[in-house]
Structure 1
Amino acid sequence: MKNQVIEKAISICGSQVKLSQSCGVSQVAISYWLNGGGFNAKYIPKIVKATEGKVTELELLHSLSSTEA
Structure 2
Amino acid sequence: MNLPTYLQTPGLNKAAFAREIGVSNAMLYQFEKGIRPVPPKYCPAIERASDGKVTRQELRPKDWRQTWPDLAAQHPPAPHPESQPQ
Give the TM-score normalised by the residue count of structure 2: 0.59
Q: CA deviation at 1:34?
A: 1.1
1:48 aligned residue: 47
Structure number with bigger Rg: 2
1:38 aligned residue: 37
Identity %: 25
Structure 2 residue 33 is matched with structure 1 residue 11: no
Q: CA deviation at 1:59?
A: 1.0
Instruction: Tell me the amino acid that sits aligned with residue 5 of structure 1.
Output: N
Instruction: Tell me the amino acid that sits aligned with residue 61 of structure 1.
Output: R
Instruction: Tell me the amino acid that sits aligned with residue 25 of structure 2.
Output: Q
Unaligned segments of structure 2, at least 5 residues: 63-86
1:20–1:30: 8 Å Cα contact kept in structure 2? yes
In 1, Cα distance between equivalents of 2:2 and 2:57: 10
Q: CA deviation at 1:41?
A: 0.7
Q: CA deviation at 1:26?
A: 0.6
Unaligned segments of structure 1, at least 5 residues: none
Q: Detail structure 1 runs of 4+ shifted over 3 Å in the superposition.
A: none
Give the TM-score normalised by the residue count of structure 1: 0.71
Where relative contact order (Cα < 8 A, 6+ residues apart) is larger, the structure is 1
